[in-house]
Amino acid sequence: MDLMGGATMSRSSQLTKTLAAALVESRPVVQAVSLLRFFTAVVLAGTAIGGIRELLPVLTSATAVFLSAFAVYLANGVADVVEDRANGSRRPIASGRLDERHAALLAAAAGGLAVPFALSVGPPAVVAVTAYLAAGIAYSFGPLPLKNRVSTFMSAVAVLGVSTYALGVAAVGALPLEVVVLALSMSGWMACGGLSKDLSDVVGDRVAGRRTWPVVFGMRVARRATAGATVLVAIGFGVAAALVAPLLVPAALAAAAGATVLVAELLLPQEGARPARRPYQVFMWTQYAVHLVVLATCLLVL
């Protein structure tokens, strides 16, 4: 009997299962939108200078984006295990399918690997990756995790957004005004619209001691405040696009449409059984829509 061969296959199978569970824990939907932000910045910057001159920095930076996001969100799963279990989460760590220590080691390895990829692109990429990882770590860990209060939550999330766009700029070597407007607007959307996630996580957030709007002020005030914040972001995006970045006007209209649907989900009377995470889903799909509209617009003007 080939006992050693069987043991090797068993270890390989276990490693594959661990990596697959870690990928699920890092939230593939979030990974995808992070890469979409990056590639949208790349295409916008490339459009401004008449095309992308080198492909290698783009691919290298994209790898850094993936590794950084994987590290940050996997580490967040480790940090949030108590509240995730209180909220009934079925993600791998909360459900026990992924060992917390293995997840922590994988997160550290991915974060460490992201840095040399950024180094190969240049100093701006290193700054962006460092800012991303620092904000992600501070969000989840430390004596005062940034996730625990609304103001610091919003700041950390905005840094994650801006850093991702910055990596796109670093990969191309150009910073057109359109990228600045998109980065600030959609990072603001992340910071404000992302608060909608707290609406379905009240039980776990209270257990973990987080001072979210639903915990502090109640659901009614939290819904109104989240709605107001996202409307302001959509208006700001529209005004900025109309004044200084007309290429982004279609995307701003998509953001306005998403904000309208989100406000309806937050404020209109809810009839029947509606998923508690519906507002967060609208927030996420709006991000996808806005960036896809930007990419489509760039293709039309090329």
- Domain residue spans of the chain: 23-301
Q: What are 211's strand-pairing partners?
A: 149
Q: Residue 1 pLDDT > 50, yes or no?
A: no
Instruction: Measure the CA–CA gap between 135 and 238, rounded to whole angstroms.
Output: 28
**Helices 249-267 and 219-244, interaxial angle, to 10°?**
170
**pLDDT per residue as tens digits for the range 100-158:** 999 999 999 999 999 999 999 999 999 999 999 999 999 999 889 999 999 999 999 99
Q: How confident is the model at residue 21 (pLDDT cuts 50, 70, 90)?
A: very high
**pLDDT per residue as tens digits for the range 263-281:** 999 998 765 545 678 999 9
Task: Classify domain 23-301 at the CATH topology level.
Answer: Farnesyl Diphosphate Synthase (1.10.600)
HEC profile of 26-95:
CCHHHHHHHHHHHHHHHHHHHHHCCCCCCCHHHHHHHHHHHHHHHHHHHHHHHHCHHHHHHCCCCCHHHH
> Which carries the bigger pLDDT value, residue 60 or residue 8?
60
